[in-house]
A and B are shown apart, each in its own frame.
Chain A
Amino acid sequence: NAGVTQTPKFQVLKTGQSMTLQCAQDMNHEYMSWYRQDPGMGLRLIHYSVGAGITDQGEVPNGYNVSRSTTEDFPLRLLSAAPSQTSVYFCASSYSWGGGEETQYFGPGTRLLVL
């Protein structure tokens, strides 16, 4: 299994540009999430999904859109990039919640710089 994969690894954008961060998992996990991590801080939840066709907002959703058309893929779209969105973005998936099967598996991250 490849686990959770993310592309690209690095990206530089200009203010106002849009882009999509890709995330895929091959573990048949129901739950997928997007987080951002700013320097010296923990992860903050942007959006999450509890299954194909179902998404919901997290703590910091403004400026981002998501969709979940398949179990495997959960892309994150930046609508109009701003310098405040400079961060490291992590995608995560998990099989279930409760019963001890709640481990979140993270992708390697996308480092985004917005100029």
Chain B
Amino acid sequence: RKEVEQDPGPFNVPEGATVAFNCTYSNSASQSFFWYRQDCRKEPKLLMSVYSSGNEDGRFTAQLNRASQYISLLIRDSKLSDSATYLCVVKRNTNAGKSTFGDGTTLTVKP
């Protein structure tokens, strides 16, 4: 079983839709969680960190459920520019510098 698992999609949604991605992790010692965005053939860039209490940044909301070991990303009012691959990243603070990436979920927003 992979340490970090994501639904690969693709998710095809119309502009203005709300879409949610889930990510599960297997190691209960995981401490830090992130969502990165990767555009086609480009480098990943941090979208947002995920905090225990949940956090929101504009149209994006991230949540963490430690008991069930999953994190989620909700995108409201989807824009064409949201089309990308979204990577879930998990880090164990006992191993500084070492992150584990999920395989990513691909989102295509259509007019």
Residues of A whose CB lies within 8 Å of any CB of B are: 30-31, 33, 35, 40-45, 48-50, 56, 58-59, 88, 90, 94, 97-98, 100, 102-104, 106-109
- When distances are taken between beta carbons in the complex, the residues of chain A under 8 Å from B25 are none
Residue of A31, A43, A58 with highest tally of chain B CB at under 10 A? A43
Other than the known A41-B104, A48-B98, A56-B98, what 10 A-B pairs have Cβ atoms closer than 8 Å? A35-B101, A42-B101, A49-B97, A50-B96, A97-B97, A98-B32, A103-B46, A106-B44, A106-B45, A109-B41
Q: Is the CB of A41 within 8 A of B103?
A: yes
A15 to B72, CA, bound (A): 42
A6 to B30, CA, bound (A): 30
Is B103 a contact of A97 with CB atoms below 8 Å?
no
Set B43, B49, B96, B97: member contacting A107, Cβ < 8 A: B43
Chain A residues with Cβ below 8 Å from B34 are 102
**A-facing residues in B21-50 (Cβ within 8 Å):** 32, 34, 36, 41-46, 49
Give B95's nearest chain A residue, CB to CB: A56
Nearest Cβ on chain B to A6's Cβ, whole angstroms = 9
Q: How many angstroms from the CA of A109 to the CA of B49 in the assembled complex?
A: 23
In the bound assembly, the distance between CA atoms of A49 and B32 in angstroms comes to 18
Docked complex Cα distance between A10 and B99 (Å): 25
Q: How long is the Cα–Cα vector from A106 to B4 in the complex, in angstroms?
A: 20
B43 CB to nearest A CB, Å: 4
Give the residue name and chain of the B residue nearest to A38 (CB): B103
Specify which of B46, B98, B104 lies most central, judged by the most chain A CB atoms within 10 Å of its CB: B98
Closest CB in chain A relative to B20 CB, distance in Å: 19
Q: Give B8 Cβ to nearest chain A Cβ, in Å.
A: 8
| Contacting residue for B97 out of A42, A48, A90, A100, CB 8 A | A48
Say whether A108 contacts B91, CB under 8 Å.
Answer: no
